[in-house]
A and B are shown apart, each in its own frame.
Chain A
């Protein structure tokens, strides 16, 4: 069971807006920033969102991140077929000796 909780699946049709949630705790999302990664099967993960809501260069502005309290969300607007992938959230966990934690991942299907 992951420290960060994500829905196992999400779906949408082309052009739609889809959101993926990531629920944590005070020691994770509550006091640390959230990062999102996109991963296609057989490929290395790709940095999508960092510092809760910042996009690296090259990431389309269709992708956006937000955070409130101990939860974060990734939103994808204008959904495209090539967005079909697995999405993971991660954050530093200040509990115990400190460690990185990942969400269980959300498989996004474009219908």
Chain B
């Protein structure tokens, strides 16, 4: 079964750091790019970050650029989102999603498999 399982969400104070993980199974992890998408309370979906199949290329939303770092360990079929200098507005459910191609973007590309999400709450 193709599956993505996120972990690492927690309640943290503003300015602190948190690392989210996403464990993949059921598909050849290093064939595909991966993404993080979040949904804040009462808001819509927001793209956060993407990484290519080999980790060489990454992309970030302006709202997290310079604070978040996305990486992957293909040997462990795992994706990691290091979140630093967290702000209240980073409070959200964070979902990892599998791309349908190996690069961050490809014509016709989509996010075809999603995890169930992990909750990050930034509050003092």
Report which A residues bind B (CB closer than 8 A): 2, 32-33, 35, 37, 39, 43-47, 50-51, 54, 56, 86, 88, 90, 92, 97-105
B110, A50: Cβ atoms under 8 Å? yes
| Residues of B in contact, count (CB < 8 Å) | 26
Assess A50 versus B108: contact at CB under 8 Å? Given A44-B116, A44-B117. Answer: yes
- Nearest Cβ on chain B to A42's Cβ, whole angstroms: 9
Q: How many A-B pairs with Cβ below 8 Å?
A: 69
Other 14 A-B pairs with CB < 8 A, given A44-B114, A90-B45: A35-B109, A35-B111, A37-B45, A39-B45, A44-B95, A44-B115, A45-B37, A45-B45, A50-B100, A56-B112, A98-B105, A100-B35, A100-B47, A102-B45
Q: In the complex, A47→B97 CA distance in Å? A: 11
Q: Which residue of A lies closest to B115 (CB)?
A: A44
B109 CB contacts on chain A under 8 angstroms: 33, 35, 50, 92
Q: In the complex, A31→B122 CA distance in Å? A: 37
Report which B residues bind A (CB closer than 8 A): 35, 37, 44-47, 50, 59-62, 95, 97, 100, 104-105, 107-112, 114-117
